[in-house]
Amino acid sequence: MIKKSILWLHKWLGLIVGLIIFVVSITGCIYVFYDDLKTIVYPERYSIQENKMPVSKQALPLTDLIEIANKNLPTNEKVTRVDLYLDKDRTWIFRANKTDKEKTLYHNYMVYYKRVFINPYSGKVQFVENTKYEFFQVVLQLHQTLLLGKNVGHTIVALSTVIFIILTISGLVLWWPKKWKKKLVKKAVWVNFSVKWKRLVYDLHNVLGFQTFIFVLIIAFTGLIFSYPSFKKFTTKTLNSITISENDKDLSLEKNVILNPNNILNESLLYAMEKNPEANMMSVRLRDKDEDQDIQVRLEKNKTSVFRWYYFDQNSGKLLNIKSSENQKLGDELIGMNYDLHTGGIWGYPTKILAFIVSLICASLPITGAIVWWNKQPKRR
């Protein structure tokens, strides 16, 4: 009786959110290798097209480059963030982005999103991209909001993720063999491709769902952390409270630093570059005068979980704080790893490939589940 109720719940929840799960999974599958594909698909944007800069060549002041970027944008659009690379053959990316959270459809929700790609050593603008309609950006927005904006689309995706977790757990209950005999276990964990197609579809749904069970829960759980700030806060606080010890690396010695407040953008960036010469990339978000200026440093390629953040007071130029992945409590460390866990970048290409395969299987489950349901419907004459 219990299994029948679970089957009923599993079936109807699957039919309700199946299409959403398919779209979210297939777009996630595409986006896994975005960091690798972007330099291959758009070499004229991400790689310096002029003769390679000498190793000793210094980049122009950040404020000068921001001014160049703004001149290449419409007057009502301004740079809000800069992504820069320490490799001498990479352009710096100047983002101009504005959203209207009250709007529903993506076209209206994303007021504008441009990226200006500049050679930081010569100041030459290599490309101005209308990122709002760029392929990978549209894929990302489909994944996050179904192109329905923050309020509507984000809520639908978040609720569907919760339901998908319920489907995954209920699917495991339905899969669980009544008796753990060798023959039954083999059928439960391995697909027999020699059976008839209806049985094959049934086995693909059950077996692939079981084989990816743990990985699906990790991807879904990390997705919920993105979706619900309160859940993120609860997870962080709970795991921090059970942390026995933390890395005791002391970064306080760096804090007795005061820069010129009238040149805080340039000097704070130079300071971060000097302290982290082996870093892969840095991000600078342009803050209002009453906010602290921060510099995000990513220490490893295509990973957000190995980082340092520098915070400067814009009025006094004082270095206020340094956050680092080297001295975090368990909750903060997990949250710092969340993006890499969600996209599979946590251990490089092996986990990226795994995330790609799992996402592809997640996209297949609503299809095979719908076919199984259809095959069990009473046949009309």
pLDDT, tens digit, 9 for 90 and up, residues 222-253:
999 999 999 999 999 999 988 765 554 556 55
DSSP character for 263?
A: G
Specify the pLDDT at position 303.
93
For every residue of 95-130, DSSP letters joined together read: EEEEE-TT--SHHHHEEEEEEEEE-TTT--EEEEEE
Give the mean pLDDT of the chain.
Answer: 92
Specify the pLDDT at position 243.
72
User: What φ, ψ does residue 141 adopt, rounded to 5°?
Assistant: -70, -35
Mean pLDDT of 64-78: 97
Specify the pLDDT at position 188.
76
Specify the pLDDT at position 2.
87
Specify the pLDDT at position 182.
76
- pLDDT of 52 higher than 90: no
Distances (CA, A) of 235 to 19, 54, 198, 241: 29, 47, 42, 10
Any alpha helices (H) in 242-348, and if so which ranges? 264-275, 330-343
Give the integer Cα–Cα distance in Å for 171 and 7: 8
Mean pLDDT of 350-376: 96
- pLDDT of 56 higher than 60: no
277-311 pLDDT, tens per residue?
A: 999 999 999 999 999 999 999 999 989 999 999 99
Provide the b/e sequence for 279-302 (b: ≥16 CB within 10 Å). bbbbbbebeeeeeebbbbbbbbeb
| Token pair for 80 | 């809000």
79, 82, 83, 81: which is closest to 35 by C-alpha? 83
* Percentage with pLDDT > 90 across the chain: 83
For every residue of 119-168, DSSP letters joined together read: -TTT--EEEEEEGGG-HHHHHHHHHHHTTSIIIIIHHHHHHHHHHHHHHH
| Interacting residues of 177 by C-beta distance below 8 A, sequence separation 6+ | 184, 185, 188
Specify the pLDDT at position 53.
55
Specify the pLDDT at position 244.
62
Q: Are 168 and 213 in contact (CB under 8 A)?
A: yes
Which of 131-135, 172-176, 269-273, 362-366 bottoms out in mean pLDDT, i.e. has the lowest?
Answer: 172-176
- Better pLDDT: 248 or 361: 361
Q: Which residue has the tokens 């790689």?
A: 47
302-316 pLDDT, tens per residue?
A: 899 999 999 999 999
* Percentage with pLDDT > 70 across the chain: 95
Q: Are 191 and 207 in contact (CB under 8 A)?
A: yes
Local confidence band at 140 (pLDDT 50, 70, 90 cut-offs): very high
Specify the pLDDT at position 323.
92
Mean pLDDT of 131-142: 97
Q: What angle do CA 34, 18, 224 make, to 5 degrees?
A: 55
pTM, to two decimals: 0.92
- pLDDT of 350 higher than 80: yes
- pLDDT of 67 higher than 90: yes
